Amino acid sequence: MLFHVRMDVRIPRDLPADEAAEILAREKAYSQELQASGKWRHIWRLAGEYANFSIFDVRDNTELHEILVGLPLFKFMEIQVTPLLRHPSSIREDDS
């Protein structure tokens, strides 16, 4: 199943710099592992915001939930999820 996910990150300003750096390093490693596996298919930064649009390709809602709550930055995020369906006019065969 494909999902469009918007993630807005709100790291507290008073979080110690070394703690923030450690969380960000774990976040990068985790997200790149998911990208390499094909589960996190696309990620785009939103210009001027600490936010991204991502496309996930996962088995079901439960797998997506487990991935999202596993994000080291999860407790600092607002997340919006939209399930995606293949459009009948699409000429692509690999977008389901």
| pLDDT tens string 58-82 | 999 999 999 999 999 999 999 999 9
- Whole-angstrom distance, CA of residue 7 vs CA of residue 5: 6
Which residue from 16, 80, 15, 6 is spatially nearest to 50, judged by alpha carbons? 6
Go through the domains of the chain in sequence order and give each one's CATH number: 2-84 (3.30.70.1060)
* 96 residues of the chain, pLDDT tens digit each: 999 999 999 999 999 999 999 999 999 999 999 999 999 999 999 999 999 999 999 999 999 999 999 999 999 999 999 999 988 898 987 766
